[in-house]
Amino acid sequence: MAIWAFAFAFMLRNRVLDIPPQMFLFCSHTLRPERAVMPQNVDKLKPASPEDIAESLAFALRSAGASAFMMPPSPRTLQRRLSEKNKALLSAMDRIESLANRDDLTGLPNRRSITAWLGEQMAICGRTGIPLSVGLLDLDHFKRINGAYGHLMGDRALQLFAKEALGAIRETDRLGRYGGEEFLIVLVGTALDGASEPLERIRSRVGSADWTIIDHGFRLTLTIGATEYVPAESVESLMRRADMALYLGKETDRNRVVLDSAPLMRLAAQSKIATA
């Protein structure tokens, strides 16, 4: 039946088939027997109209299943469909990668992403001798914000902090959410003695920002512990020292920047001993 329908449609389309009434009645009876009419004076019937033929053929296609009569797509159509699907797949993969590497709340790189990038930069700096410093930022008394204003306002405070901090960093710096109310900033090409200025700029901007959305008179401060990368050390060792500097700042007066210069002092001492 499929072959007959294809041939029938082809001949109609190319005007090589002149349908006599008898033929049309036979087709109607075959394709739509419930609507077929077989009068006695068949020879006196007018030729079938194109509309009648099209209706009967369409009913046949629907009855047998349109998929059985569909012609295979052309190579160009297949190529276009494949290209569209590839674009959709790449877009979905980019979206998945973004979700895997970004913090949902702040939009900053998450801990996995920022520490992986830090490791890459440490490897580069180890080979080239370019200095690198990191700062661990912690929002002071953040638990009080959640307790006094609720977790929704706490989340809003994190978002506003991320916005203000991003506005204060340099293009070469990278900021990520390290966990909870802690954030990590990587200062590529910056030695420890030069890290104080950009870190103080972040602290000052956050402290002077407009926080009235949380509450009138509300002010957010942060403490920062910073250290410099020592060649051949691991990410864990570097972050441990930054965390110790942060802990020192929170135990003293908070709302300050603490620089851990002990490793550099030890390296300088070792260098003097070696050259003595």
Domain that holds residue 260: 111-275
Three-state secondary-structure class, residue 102: strand
> How many domains would you assign to the chain?
2
Tokens 């959305």 correspond to what residue? 213
Do 115 and 246 reside in the same domain of the chain?
yes
Q: Which residue has the higher pLDDT, 239 or 273?
A: 239
Residue 253 has what pLDDT? Answer: 85
Instruction: Confirm if 254 and 221 have CB atoms less than 8 A apart.
Output: yes
Got the DSSP string for 136-194? EEEETTHHHHHHHH-HHHHHHHHHHHHHHHHTTS-TTEEEEEEETTEEEEEEET--HHH
List the structure tokens of 35.
């609507």
Q: Is 251 among the domain residues?
A: yes
- Looking at the predicted structure, is the pLDDT value of residue 144 above 80? yes
Query: Which of 69, 92, 127 is the last residue before a domain boundary?
Result: 69
Residue 79 has what pLDDT? Answer: 87
Do 136 and 270 reside in the same domain of the chain?
yes
Residue 81 has what pLDDT? Answer: 86
pLDDT band for position 36 (cuts 50, 70, 90): very low
Do 127 and 52 reside in the same domain of the chain?
no
Active site residue 84: no
- Looking at the predicted structure, is the pLDDT value of residue 9 above 80? no
- Pick the catalytic residue: 55, 164, 181, 233? 181
| Closest by CA position to 192, among listed 151, 154, 241 | 241
Q: Is 156 among the domain residues?
A: yes
| Backbone torsions φ then ψ of 224, nearest 5 degrees | -130, 130
Instruction: Confirm if 73 and 81 have CB atoms less than 8 A apart.
Output: yes
Residue 92 has what pLDDT? Answer: 80
Residue 82 has what pLDDT? Answer: 86
| Closest by CA position to 57, among listed 17, 88, 117, 97 | 17
- Looking at the predicted structure, is the pLDDT value of residue 139 above 80? yes
- Looking at the predicted structure, is the pLDDT value of residue 208 above 80? yes
Question: How far, in Å, CA of 225 to CA of 242, rounded?
Answer: 5
Q: Is 188 among the domain residues?
A: yes
Q: What average pLDDT does range 57-80 have in this prediction? A: 67
Q: Which residue has the higher pLDDT, 82 or 23?
A: 82
The domain spanning residue 268 has which CATH number?
Answer: 3.30.70.270
pLDDT band for position 1 (cuts 50, 70, 90): very low
Count H helices and E strands in the chain, helices first: 11, 5
Do 215 and 142 reside in the same domain of the chain?
yes
Q: Is 89 among the domain residues?
A: no
Q: What is the pTM of this model?
A: 0.65
* CA 98 to chain centroid: 3
Three-state secondary-structure class, residue 93: helix
Dihedral through CA 101, CA 107, CA 108, CA 111, nearest 10?
-50
Q: Across the chain, what does the average pLDDT equal?
A: 80
Do 115 and 65 reside in the same domain of the chain?
no
- Looking at the predicted structure, is the pLDDT value of residue 54 above 90? no
